[in-house]
């Protein structure tokens, strides 16, 4: 089908870097009116500095978009962060921080946009999850947990919002080469009982990310699902990750778990 979005108003959260920036650039190139909600300001797009974990700020930002453009056709929930370390040693503060951004941040913007889309008779919400939602990664357990929560929320919302013409889908990227790698927060207080396993696991993750696909690959996938008449419930990004997730669904769970243990733990 046509990927023409020239008449669409698109909100992208976290569009100042990485996948969010690539996605916003692609939609803008295709003629969409792109609004970036992010903590940092960017001159590349219409930008409303917004902390998506702040519900009042999100409501004000979405109201401003509605007032300026009259509608909101597509929402791409991309803003997120990563933390690494043993679950046992990770502080409650750090856990709450990643859930506030990765899960509640997406929820805040989604809840603010739904009434606008319902009033106008439809729209599309694309949530950025992760392959880690399907294949939970040791020593990145809380990132995996937040992304699993995002995937589950997306699947449930899909049916809640279907009667209003609002399409909901999740995109699950594999390893992508962005500054997300250098921005990951690392737990400095891991228990000595884990030895060098945490450091080795993180090193594997970071190597894979630095050699990962371009964020443009995921941006094109987001465009495809956002403009599909009947988008999938979820779509994995990156050819080899599609295969890995497909294999994980047919192989015994214990075997999949053991493979992940050998890879990362």
CATH class for domain 9-264? alpha beta
List the catalytic residue out of 69, 143, 258, 261: 143
Would residue 69 show up in a list of annotated catalytic residues for this protein?
A: no
Residue-wise pLDDT for 204-259, tens only, equals 888 988 889 999 999 999 999 999 999 999 999 988 889 989 999 999 999 999 99
**What is the C-alpha to C-alpha distance for residues 153 and 213, in angstroms, rounded to an integer?**
26
Mean pLDDT, range 73-79, rounded to an integer: 97
pTM: 0.93
**1 pLDDT higher than 50:** no
User: Please, which residues have CB within 8 angstroms of residue 252's CB and are 6 or more apart in sequence?
Assistant: none
Q: What angle do CA 117, 119, 122 make, to 5 degrees?
A: 40
């Amino acid at each position: 089908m046509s990927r023409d979005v020239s008449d669409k108003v698109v909100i992208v959260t976290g569009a100042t870097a990485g996948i969010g920036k690539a996605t916003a650039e692609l939609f803008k190139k295709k003629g969409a009116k792109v609004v970036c909600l992010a903590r940092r300001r960017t001159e590349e797009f219409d930008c409303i500095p917004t902390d998506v974990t702040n519900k009042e700020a999100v409501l004000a930002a979405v109201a401003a978009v509605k007032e300026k453009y009259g509608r909101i056709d597509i929402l791409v929930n991309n803003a997120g962060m990563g933390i690494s370390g043993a679950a046992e040693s990770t502080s409650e503060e750090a856990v709450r921080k990643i859930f506030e951004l990765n899960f509640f941040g997406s929820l805040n913007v989604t809840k603010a946009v739904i009434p606008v889309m319902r009033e106008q008779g439809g729209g599309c919400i694309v949530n950025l999850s992760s392959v880690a939602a399907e294949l939970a990664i040791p020593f990145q357990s809380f990132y995996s947990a937040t992304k699993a929560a995002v995937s589950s929320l997306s699947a449930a919302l899909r049916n809640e919002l279907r009667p209003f013409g609002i399409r909901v889908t999740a995109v699950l990227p594999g390893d992508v080469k962005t500054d997300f790698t250098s921005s990951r927060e690392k737990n400095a207080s891991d228990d000595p009982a884990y030895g060098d396993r945490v450091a080795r696991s993180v090193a594997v993750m970071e190597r894979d990310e630095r050699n990962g696909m371009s964020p443009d690959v995921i941006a094109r996938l987001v465009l495809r699902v956002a403009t599909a008449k009947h988008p999938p419930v979820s779509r994995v990004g990156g050819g080899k990750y599609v295969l890995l997730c497909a294999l994980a669904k047919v192989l015994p769970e214990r075997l999949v778990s053991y493979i992940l243990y050998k890879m990362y733990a």
